[in-house]
Amino acid sequence: MQCDFATIDKETNYHCFMVEANHYRAPENRPLTTDERILLEWLIANGSPGAAKYAPQIPRVSVVSRCTCGCPTIDLAVDGTHIDGGSELVADFVGKSPEGIQVGVILHCRGGYISELEVYPIGELKGVFGLPCPDALVALGDAEP
């Protein structure tokens, strides 16, 4: 994902990104898997102070596309509507995938709706890897270098 700019919100101390709308995505139309739902619930419960307001949307979230690079990033819709554009990062964590790959996990919300669960490798990696378990995550600011 290419960032046009990045800033830190002074009130929440969370990163805010404007992202390029054209991603490498494959359309999907399906409900969240159990692992995706568990991770989404955990990110909202443990994310920024404003993340809790998104919790009521979780039962209405579905997957509308996925990344084609091999990472488990998914684009989300609430009540069938997906919103692109600049995002509010309501959760930003790092950890390890089940394969032992160091990953970053970001929950993006746009226009007041949950819109993307981004899971990316830290460092160069080509290939497929899975979602990290919430137990394997720490807040980005608390991670050891």
Q: Residue 5 falls within a domain, yes or no? A: no
* Structure-token match 């692992």, residue found: 35
- Our count of domains for the chain comes to 1
The single-letter DSSP state of residue 11 is: T
Domain region containing 51: 38-142
How far apart CA 142 and CA 83 sit, in angstroms, is 30
* Structure-token match 């919790």, residue found: 55
Point out which residues pair with 26 in neighbouring strands.
Answer: 66
Q: Residue 119 falls within a domain, yes or no? A: yes
Strands 137-139 and 113-121 turn out to be unpaired
Q: What is the pLDDT along the chain (145 residues), one digit of tens a residue?
A: 333 333 333 333 333 333 344 457 899 999 999 999 999 999 999 999 999 999 999 999 999 999 988 899 999 999 999 999 999 999 999 999 999 999 999 999 999 999 999 999 998 877 899 999 999 999 987 666 5
pTM assigned to the model: 0.82
The single-letter DSSP state of residue 133 is: P
Identify the helix (H) or strand (E) that includes residue 98.
none
Q: Write out pLDDT tens, residues 106-123.
A: 999 999 999 999 999 998
